[in-house]
């Protein structure tokens, strides 16, 4: 596998690969750190047999987020149908200062906006298809393109009980009354803890301040509370500092903390589809708080 990755990287980057090492943490794609003869270090994400647009979609999302001028993303060095090559970001330590920078940067990213709720192309949630066809309102988009498709899949896979599914359907129908409408924000779309990379600037000396980066997006136009809800779902270092800095830069509508569970229905249903376990009941328990 590593030999094939090195050869593909050499062809795409026009430089010899002098060293490779596997990187832990990828749930879907294989991650390989490579050192090039020209001195660069890069990360190769590869997945043989991936859908033809799998990595192109990820690269497009990264570029769209980068264009916002908010939270940085790793530089894209190359992409083709089986891999994405990013400039290596040396991991650093999460700090309160870096968390505040993440909050301010995320506010800037969101404020760059989007043409509509949705995106020009569909995406992926792991290996699952992610529908992004635009909708006129956020409530319709989140119900029809996020909650209900994955609720149906969870049902089909036996990952949720019928009465639990009914509770979620009822909440999906009430979304327009529960969440204040806003203009479409430029979202990462899958902003859990693992997709925030606390990295060091290129060439930084030891002890340099960490710079947060965004990776692995499911980028689309949506409601900015969604990204914040995803950060809160599975925990993030120094989350209070992130949220405080965000609100200082871009105040949120009153009651937003009480609405985070609504936005978390989608990732909980995705996890129910992928992993089963207690995610289906947890999604239903969350939904019932809003009935």
Structural domains in the chain, CATH included, are 2-87 (3.30.200.20), 96-288 (3.90.1200.10)
In contact, 160 and 280? CB cutoff 8 Å: yes
Chain mean pLDDT for the chain: 94
pLDDT bracket for residue 257 (50, 70, 90): very high
Q: Residues 59-83: pLDDT tens digits?
A: 999 999 999 999 999 999 999 999 9
Continuous H helices in the chain? 2-13, 54-67, 96-111, 138-141, 148-156, 162-178, 224-233, 239-249, 260-275, 279-288
Report the distance separating Cα 174 and Cα 284, nearest Å: 15
Token duo for residue 248: 């200082």
Its pTM stands at 0.95
Is 258 considered catalytic here? Answer: no
Q: Residues 158-204: pLDDT tens digits?
A: 999 999 999 999 999 999 999 999 999 999 999 999 999 999 877 77
Residue with tokens 């914040």: 228
pLDDT greater than 90 at residue 122: yes
Catalytic residue among 164, 190, 216, 227: 190
């Amino acid at each position: 596998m590593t030999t094939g990755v090195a050869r593909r990287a050499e062809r795409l980057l026009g430089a010899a690969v002098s060293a490779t090492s596997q990187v832990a943490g990828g749930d879907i794609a294989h991650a390989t750190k490579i050192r090039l003869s020209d001195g660069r270090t890069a990360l190769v994400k590869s997945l043989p047999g991936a859908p033809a647009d799998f990595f192109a979609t990820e690269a497009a999302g990264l570029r769209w987020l980068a264009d916002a001028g908010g939270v940085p993303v790793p530089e894209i060095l190359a992409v083709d149908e089986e891999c994405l090559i990013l400039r290596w970001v040396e991991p650093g330590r999460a700090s309160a200062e870096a968390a505040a920078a993440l909050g301010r940067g995320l506010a800037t990213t969101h404020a760059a906006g989007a043409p509509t709720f949705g995106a020009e192309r569909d995406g992926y949630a792991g290996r699952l298809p992610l529908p992004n066809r635009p909708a006129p309102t956020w409530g319709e988009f989140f119900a029809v393109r996020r909650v209900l498709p994955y609720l149906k899949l969870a049902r089909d896979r036996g990952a949720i009980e019928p009465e639990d599914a009914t509770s979620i359907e009822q909440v999906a129908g009430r979304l327009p009354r529960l969440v204040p409408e806003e203009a479409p924000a430029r979202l990462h779309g899958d902003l859990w803890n693992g997709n925030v990379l606390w990295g060091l600037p290129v060439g930084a000396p030891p002890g340099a301040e960490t710079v947060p980066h965004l990776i692995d997006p499911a980028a689309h136009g949506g409601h900015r509370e969604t990204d914040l809800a995803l950060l809160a779902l599975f925990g993030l270092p120094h989350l209070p500092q992130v949220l405080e800095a965000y609100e200082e830069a871009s105040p949120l509508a009153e009651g937003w903390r009480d609405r985070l569970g609504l936005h978390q229905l989608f990732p909980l249903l995705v996890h129910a589809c992928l992993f089963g376990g207690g995610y289906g009941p947890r999604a239903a328990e969350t939904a019932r708080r809003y009935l």
